[in-house]
Amino acid sequence: MVAQLTASAELAERCLTGLDERQALQAVTLLGRAAGDQMAARVLLERLLPLLERVVAGLPADIGLLTAISDAIPYPSAALAEADLAVTRRILQVMPDGDIALRARWLNWLGITCAQTGRPAEALPATQEAVSTRRELAAAYPDRYRPDLATALRVLALALNGLGRAPEAEVALRESELLDSAQRLTVTSIANRRAGLARRNSPVAGITSLILPPGAVTSPERRRRTAAAATRR
């Protein structure tokens, strides 16, 4: 069906225009399921997004379907902000227990969509829970979850600022910046260790060390970092 609708603009116009609530629900469900792996279905689904707010409560409790629909909604979008919020709430309603990282992801997005629709008071508890969960995850697995915690802190700062709590928002932003800096250092350290191992295992490593003076730039990554540092001086 997706191929037929894509091939004929006239057919797509007839099938996707003037839908009642039942028809809109069927169309959104069908295209939402296909949108996960078909870009053409996603394009067609975008035509139905203005109807989404009316039918979201009736959508199946299918995380994959709801995620595909959420992914099709552009951000930011004043016209679709309420639909985005409705889908996010629906995802959190039907989400199974146990996957705290996934719940934190959608709580974070709930905070963003609440802020986009002018609901900072509703955004705050969602973002606070997301920060709390991601803080626990980052403590256990820092390399994997530290960037997520930094993102959640920025969303928390957005909610706090919307409530007029600028000093608290500044604290959250400062922590997110520190986390970003720590993550960059970690990535750089890992890259340097890998580069060092590669050089030690290379048959020309010894020759290079004799030709180049100590501290010489020996890799594209180091050259880029050196050039960037030089421009900041």
pLDDT digits (tens, 9 = 90+) for 92-146: 999 988 899 999 999 999 999 999 999 999 999 999 999 999 999 999 999 899 9
Cβ-Cβ contacts under 8 Å for 223 (sequence gap 6 or more) = 217
> Which range (3-17, 87-101, 193-207) has the least confidence?
193-207
- Write the single-letter amino acid at 108: N
pLDDT band at 186 (very low <50, low <70, confident <90, very high): low
d(CA 91, CA 108): 12
pLDDT above 90 (res 1)? no
3-state secondary structure 155-199: HHHHHHHHCCCHHHHHHHHHHHHHHHHHHHHHHHHHHHHHHHHHH
pLDDT, one tens digit per residue, over 45-93 is 778 777 787 888 888 899 988 998 898 888 888 888 999 999 999 999 9
pLDDT at 202 over 50: no
User: Using CA atoms, how far apart are residues 44 and 41, in angstroms rounded to an integer?
Assistant: 5
Q: Does the global pTM surpass 0.95? A: no
